[in-house]
């Protein structure tokens, strides 16, 4: 974890927020390479969950919502963690992280009783700071989907089974943020609410199983090593009272197995709560069968930042002579780096610039003419660039270039006019 955190900072993936002021706990900034990685992660999810399917539509709802939403959803009443403080060393822990009467940090038996603590960030809307103007930063993106459910199915003319997907920021005042970007206070979620008929119950169960498998396979398709990924079904007493089934997809983090994504069969709980809270009828009316019902929902929920962390950790390898990120080409921040073999031969530099400009409309590129070619390969391997292209003396006469593969280090000659289609084929094949 320390190595990934250091690499992420050194190469411009991820930095602590407001670092020049000593940082702020639980918030992170994405640098030039990190922002590309993060966009690619979102894009991979959106493409597979929304764009390539005909049963899912997307939305982007506001972070600020009526406080009534959080009363109805149960967040005002139930979204809290239990914390304990140590009277000696003043450290604070989540109650579920403490076993026994002693402080995990200093070892003294000076822990307070657990106290509950609502994890929603509170703010005020408008000029008056009083009870009537209280609002909350959303702790999950899902509620915007539930409140808009009717507007979406009517305007998009969908009927169950169908899903509504959203990517956006969420905020939780976590007691113990940490493990780099694994747990932060400001983060981003990618959530799908997939609405199904509540009866027969097997239908919901089938869709739940489908989404568990689909989401598990998604990580494998994007190159995650299968021995570091597992599905863990919740036992009866772990389930939230409204949940009919929950399975976490867990990853073998450096600090142990932990949740990467959760898939929950939430039944009709959420829509029922909003019917009660708003007094509005949110049921679905099927014109064909004349049936009216409140759909049940299956929810796969994944943190963008947590996914970025897993893709980085899983891709990271230190070999004898280099550090390499074996990122899937869809996720790599830079797809192709172009080098002129030497800097002092204008024809070569010019041709390399032309080659790089030719690739730009197709894929994310970089140009590097500093140091020797070995150093440039090293720098690109370390940030996961799948292909490096070198323009050399022979390129001037033969109009071809050397393409070198990140993982195998193999090199092939490719003619310049075929290069864009060659690159696209290579990246698509992965």
Binding residues for ligand ATP, rule: CB under 6 A, are 140, 172, 174, 183-184, 187, 189, 259-262, 301-303, 305-306
Alpha helices per DSSP H over 235-372: 269-278, 304-315, 346-359
β-pairing, 162-171 vs 56-59, is parallel
| Proportion of the chain in helix, strand, coil states, percent, rounded to 5 | 35, 30, 35
CB of 243 to ligand ATP, least distance (A): 11
170 or 338, CB closer to ligand ATP?
170
303 or 386, CB closer to ligand ATP?
303
- 371-398: burial string, b at 16+ Cβ within 10 Å, e else: eebeebbebbbbbbbbbbbbbbeebeee
Calpha distance 358→278 (Å, rounded): 55
88 or 176, CB closer to ligand ATP?
176
Kindly provide the residue ranges of all beta strands, DSSP E only, lying in 236-347, ordered along the sequence. Answer: 245-253, 256-267, 284-286, 291-293, 296-303, 316-318, 323-325, 336-340
CB of 189 to ligand ATP, least distance (A): 5
Calpha distance 264→302 (Å, rounded): 11
CB of 299 to ligand ATP, least distance (A): 9
224 or 337, CB closer to ligand ATP?
224
273 or 301, CB closer to ligand ATP?
301
CB of 147 to ligand ATP, least distance (A): 18
Query: Phi and psi of 147, rounded to 5°?
Result: -70, -30
Joined tokens for residue 104: 């995990």
Q: What pairs with residue 377 in β-bridges?
A: none
Joined tokens for residue 194: 């997939």
Nearest to 330, CA basis, from 47, 51, 52, 57: 47
Burial (Cβ within 10 Å: 0-12, 13-18, ≥19) of residue 78: exposed
CB of 340 to ligand ATP, least distance (A): 42
CB of 174 to ligand ATP, least distance (A): 5
331, 41 contact by CB (below 8 A) = yes
Contacts of 249 (CB under 8 A, 6+ apart): 212, 215, 216, 219, 229, 230, 231, 232, 259, 260, 261, 262, 263
Nearest to 397, CA basis, from 410, 411, 415, 412: 415
42 or 159, CB closer to ligand ATP?
42
Contacts of 175 (CB under 8 A, 6+ apart): 81, 83, 92, 93, 94, 117, 119
51, 37 contact by CB (below 8 A) = no
79 or 293, CB closer to ligand ATP?
79
149 or 171, CB closer to ligand ATP?
171
CB of 20 to ligand ATP, least distance (A): 24
Q: Cα Rg for the chain, rounded, in angstroms?
A: 25
164 or 387, CB closer to ligand ATP?
164
CB of 68 to ligand ATP, least distance (A): 21
135 or 249, CB closer to ligand ATP?
249
CB of 313 to ligand ATP, least distance (A): 14
Map tokens 């690499």 to a residue: 7
CB of 414 to ligand ATP, least distance (A): 40
CB of 111 to ligand ATP, least distance (A): 21
Closest-by-Cβ residue to ligand ATP is 303
197 or 215, CB closer to ligand ATP?
215
């Amino acid at each position: 974890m320390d190595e990934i955190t250091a690499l992420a900072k050194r190469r411009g993936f991820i930095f602590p927020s407001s670092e020049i002021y000593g940082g702020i706990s639980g918030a992170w900034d994405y640098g030039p390479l990190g922002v590309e990685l993060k966009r690619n992660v979102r894009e991979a999810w959106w493409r597979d969950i929304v764009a390539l399917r005909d049963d899912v539509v997307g939305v982007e709802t506001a972070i600020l919502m009526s406080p009534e939403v959080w009363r109805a959803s149960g967040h005002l009443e139930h979204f809290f963690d239990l914390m304990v403080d140590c009277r000696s060393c003043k450290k604070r822990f989540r109650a579920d992280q403490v076993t026994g009467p002693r402080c995990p940090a200093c070892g003294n038996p000076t822990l307070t009783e657990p106290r509950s603590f609502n994890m929603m960030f509170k703010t005020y809307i408008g000029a008056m700071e009083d009870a009537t103007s209280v609002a909350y930063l959303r702790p999950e993106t899902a509620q915007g989907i539930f409140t808009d459910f009717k507007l979406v199915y009517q305007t998009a003319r969908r009927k169950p089974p169908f899903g509504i997907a959203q990517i956006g920021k969420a905020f939780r005042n976590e007691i113990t943020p940490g493990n780099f970007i694994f747990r932060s206070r400001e983060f981003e979620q990618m959530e799908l609410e997939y609405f199904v008929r509540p009866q027969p119950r097997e239908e919901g169960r089938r869709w739940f199983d489908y989404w568990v498998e689909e989401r598990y396979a998604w990580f494998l398709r994007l190159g995650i090593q299968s021995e570091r990924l597992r599905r863990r079904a919740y036992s009866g007493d772990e389930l939230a009272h409204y949940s009919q089934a929950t399975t976490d997809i867990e990853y073998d983090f450096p600090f142990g197995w932990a949740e990467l994504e959760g898939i929950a069969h939430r039944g009709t709980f959420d829509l029922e709560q909003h019917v009660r809270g708003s007094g509005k009828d949110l049921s679905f009316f099927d014109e064909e069968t004349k049936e009216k019902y409140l759909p049940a929902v299956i929810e796969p929920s994944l943190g963008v930042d947590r996914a970025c962390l897993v893709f980085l950790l899983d891709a990271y390898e230190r070999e004898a002579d280099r550090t390499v990120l074996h990122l899937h080409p869809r996720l790599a921040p830079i797809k192709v780096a172009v080098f002129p073999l030497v800097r002092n031969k204008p024809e070569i530099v010019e041709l390399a610039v032309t080659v790089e400009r030719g690739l730009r409309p197709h894929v994310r590129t970089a140009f590097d003419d500093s140091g020797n070619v070995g150093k440039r390969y090293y720098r690109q391997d370390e940030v996961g660039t799948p292909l490096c292209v070198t323009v050399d003396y022979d390129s001037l006469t033969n109009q071809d270039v050397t393409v070198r593969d990140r993982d195998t280090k193999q090199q092939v000659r490719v003619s310049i006019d075929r290069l864009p289609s060659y690159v696209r084929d290579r990246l698509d094949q992965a």
